[in-house]
Structure 1
Amino acid sequence: MPALRFGERSLTYAELAATAGSLAASIGSARRVALWATPTLETAVGVVAALLAGVPVIPLNPKIGERELGHIITDSAPSVVLAAPGDELPAPLRALERTDITLTGTAVPAELPAEPDPESPALVVYTSGTTGPPKGAVLPRRALSSTLDALEDAWQWTSDDVLVHGLPLFHVHGLILGILGPLRRGGSVRHLGRFSIEGVRQELADGATMLFGVPTMYHRIAEALPTDPGLAKALSGARLLVSGSAALPVHDHERIAAATGRRVIERYGMTETLMNTSVRADGEPRAGTVGVPLGGVELRLVDEAGAETSDRQEVGEIEVRGPNLFTEYLNRPDATAAAFTADGWFRTGDMAVRDEDGYVRIVGRKATDLIKSGGYKIGAGEIENALLEHPGVREAAVTGEPDDDLGERIVAWIVPSDPAQPPPQADLADHVAAQLAPHKRPRTVHYLSELPRNDMGKIMKRSLHA
């Protein structure tokens, strides 16, 4: 069974050891290496080589703009850029020494250095902040290993599993979970190059056992299922369907479960923390939740004063502590200090409630998804889920905007199922009031042809108001 397969190209574990080992020997003296992270076999080999060499690697989004790329290169100061032969690199990378990632190594690799200290940096992954240029989150080796080993337990992940995904490889979901996860288990990964319904159907029908995706992908799957019995059959044979990077609407959960008999499970993580929680493979796949804390991860909810919430249904900010955390923002001691409490908890900025049995329900980001209206603290996520249950709504986002009377009023951004006949605002407000509570109904509705999303499928809410 191949370790890695991208389309028609694949590498066995022996071939991966030879190619990555040869590359590791050539970059071992580098301080840091940048990696042009296209969705290809070369990218997977490049990150494995850097880990073997003990050299921190900076995965770069190939769609990145030159200004942002210039900032990342200046900030992280890599001495080498790794790329597939023939890749044309933008101007900010051309001044760096370039090493092409070739897949021709067949000899026994040169002797590799001893395993570095668990605290030593493995990756520097840049996060797009809400203000200012991106910050480089330094992820130590112990963060990668602890997260992947905790997921082995939570997902009952074994060497028999074959993972299929089409996620980008410059982000922790696609790269750490999707490539390094199967390799750490001794299993196999089949990358689609880019997500497609046809690719998912084909690979799951051909023996793949796990699917990783983001909500946009599962939404497209849910839309396709009624007219694609082959897709329904392929999904029904999967051992585990995992969604992450943003909340999967309950409506899509239910459509997929009804058509396939399989429940999508969700997990919750971020660049700085890797994975914090997940619905377990042997647990209840409860739609609308991200499960329970993973092994080794401590999680608490705090109020605006920083005190731990006592009421299980009270919305609080998630703070986490554990071996899965990053060590610092590169060159930003101020931002690093601000991200942690005095007793070492990381402030995620995500707001949630916790069920009696510990299941976590995320209601949104503190900065954009917590709406304070009429004396209530309201999570945008639950209103979005309610709107998506309306037959006239295809996609929905909810934000708050200033209101002289309420403090903030609830604003809905709707992509109608039928653009020629969008559901009236009054219908949507009544629907939400009936499903949730009158104070949670949208006071303003905007109709759009599509919602702005980033490469991971997350809705860019700040762009809505702009």
Structure 2
Amino acid sequence: MSPLFPALAEAQADPDGPGAHRPALRFGDRSLTYGELAATASPLAARVAEAGRIAVWATPTLETAVAVVAALLAGVPAVPLNPKSGESELGHIVSDSAPTLVLAAPGTQLPPTLAALERVDIDVDVAVDADINVRGRGTASPDTGTPETPALIVYTSGTTGPPKGAVIPRRAIATTLDALADAWQWTGDDVLVHGLPLFHVHGLILGILGPLRRGGSVRHLGRFETAGVARELSEGATMLFGVPTMYHRIAETLPDDPALAKAMARARLLVSGSAALPVHDHERIAQATGRRVIERYGMTETLMNTSVRADGEPRAGTVGVPLPGVELRLTEEDGTTAVEAYDGETVGEIQVRGPNLFTEYLNRPEATAAAFTEDGWFRTGDMAVRDPDGYLRIVGRKATDLIKSGGYKIGAGEIENALLEYPGVREAAVTGEPDVDLGERIVAWIVPADPQSPPTVEELADHVASRLAPHKRPRVVHHLDALPRNDMGKIMKRALTHD
């Protein structure tokens, strides 16, 4: 098949050519050109080529990026491990995926769970040694594998049971990144800045492999901070990837940081994902910078499904239209009857089909079969409505965010956005609880802007009813100091209790 990373293949073939000197990766003050990346990753690929599966201790470092690239060159599936995982979760992932090697940065202290695996240290710094280019030539064939060869095994968050390993083929990575290149007008001239973890789809596939496939470069902050964003966007970066908590911090900082506002205004593209970005933060960023954040929608099993296009309308609260090659439909609760309405109100479950999908859940044939309809549509479990022009608006998860109240199907997400527009609300989550009369009543969990003077249930109910509809108003309000969130900033609604 054609190489996943044409610029890297070019650098492998001609270490002295101009393409080999183009910047590829930068983490803090450490960086690699395409030639140095090829010289480092090729010998490592030769080292792991017969390993079966490899685990990668996915710290936000150059070593993680090199390890994953080497695995892809060798045609060996890599299992990114979250360094913050607890022993129980980590033990499950290692037992389930059964890697033979673990790749890590030199000096990294690995947990006892990984003690039985052979360890391979990734010495990135030898790439700058003058003779590595000679020693690295011809040690591995570029991009070994077929379109269906497993590239990554990425584990889901495990919200409804033990994490499942989604087997992602090379085909899904290539088609997703090319579809995003079309939607975002993404080229080799783009320089991406991000500070996301590297054990999931957003941070690793989009944030690291995406620039490498385009022949561009990425500057990883190591740890997200607004000062780093301002610095990189002021020094030539053109794109920023983040999650809502990051953009919320940016929105909070902008009024008192003109340098950040000026830097953000220079960006060609600001992209948010992994969860919905509140409309309030959209508007604050746009007002301060003149730039609008666009959102995209995807998940571990499907990579990316939809996005607001760079040449489209950046409408807050939507995730745009299906990407090239992706089929998308909304269905009724039976999972087969299509929702035909494009009215911005009728809720249905998102189902997708296309080359962007995973192939299976590792070691779980029953779960794999249950995830697909008989005619090959993947059941995402996400609920959405479609606007008249086809833009998709996610309203929540089927399991946790679909509230059936008074005969209506209501998505928690739109109520959360409305609550966040209220001046007295800093954070908001919405759930349902049993109600004898309504079936379910809407419950709001609020972090007030002023804990000494929190908004009342009447104030919030009137606000939501005026923005949306009376049947979508919260009937109960709980005030909290903070909402429970996971590593990606997603609210963990199962941790919200009424006790």
**Shorter-chain TM-score category?**
over 0.9
Where 2:383 maps in the other structure, the secondary structure is: strand
CA distance in 1, matches of 2:249, 2:371: 36
Where 2:69 maps in the other structure, the secondary structure is: helix
Matched, 1:430 2:449: no
Matched, 1:287 2:316: yes
CA distance in 1, matches of 2:341, 2:240: 36
Amino acid corresponding to residue 489 of structure 2 in structure 1 = G
- Aligned residue in 1 for 2:404: 372
Gaps (5+ residues) in structure 2?
Answer: 1-21
Following superposition of structure 1 onto structure 2, how do residues 42-81 of structure 1 map, counting pairs within 5 Å? 42-81=63-102
Amino acid corresponding to residue 78 of structure 1 in structure 2 = P
Match of 1:344 among 349, 369, 376: 376
Match of 2:357 among 325, 346, 351: 325
Per-residue displacement from partner, 1:176-199 (whole Å, max 9, x unpaired)?
Answer: 000000000000100000100110
CA distance in 1, matches of 2:307, 2:109: 39
Cα offset for 1:420? 1.1
CA distance in 1, matches of 2:158, 2:57: 21
CA distance in 2, matches of 1:299, 1:18: 41
Match of 2:341 among 311, 319, 344: 311
Residue 25 of structure 1 contacts residue 110 of structure 1 at CA under 8 Å; is this kept in 2?
Answer: no
CA distance in 2, matches of 1:335, 1:274: 18
- Aligned residue in 2 for 1:216: 245
Cα offset for 1:328? 0.1
Where 1:268 maps in the other structure, the secondary structure is: strand
CA distance in 1, matches of 2:46, 2:279: 48
CA distance in 2, matches of 1:401, 1:337: 31
Equivalent residues, number: 466
CA distance in 2, matches of 1:353, 1:387: 19
**Aligned-residue CA RMSD in angstroms?**
0.9
- Aligned residue in 1 for 2:35: 14
Cα offset for 1:128? 1.9
How high is the TM-score relative to the length of structure 2?
Answer: 0.92
- Aligned residue in 1 for 2:10: none
Following superposition of structure 1 onto structure 2, how do residues 252-271 of structure 1 map, counting pairs within 5 Å? 252-271=281-300
Cα offset for 1:434? 1.1
Match of 1:24 among 45, 55, 58: 45
- Aligned residue in 2 for 1:414: 446
Residue 412 of structure 2 contacts residue 430 of structure 2 at CA under 8 Å; is this kept in 1?
Answer: yes
Where 1:402 maps in the other structure, the secondary structure is: strand
CA distance in 2, matches of 1:239, 1:465: 42
Where 1:89 maps in the other structure, the secondary structure is: coil
- Aligned residue in 1 for 2:496: 464
Amino acid corresponding to residue 278 of structure 1 in structure 2 = S
Where 1:3 maps in the other structure, the secondary structure is: strand
Cα offset for 1:458? 0.5
Amino acid corresponding to residue 425 of structure 2 in structure 1 = V
Residue 72 of structure 2 contacts residue 144 of structure 2 at CA under 8 Å; is this kept in 1?
Answer: no
- Aligned residue in 2 for 1:41: 62
Gaps (5+ residues) in structure 1?
Answer: none
Share of identical aligned residues, percent? Answer: 78
Residue 410 of structure 2 contacts residue 472 of structure 2 at CA under 8 Å; is this kept in 1?
Answer: yes
Cα offset for 1:457? 0.7
Matched, 1:397 2:397: no
Matched, 1:453 2:485: yes
- Aligned residue in 1 for 2:13: none
Where 2:145 maps in the other structure, the secondary structure is: coil
Match of 1:84 among 100, 105, 114: 105
How high is the TM-score relative to the length of structure 1?
Answer: 0.99
Cα offset for 1:109? 3.3
Where 1:219 maps in the other structure, the secondary structure is: helix
Amino acid corresponding to residue 308 of structure 1 in structure 2 = A
Cα offset for 1:110? 3.2
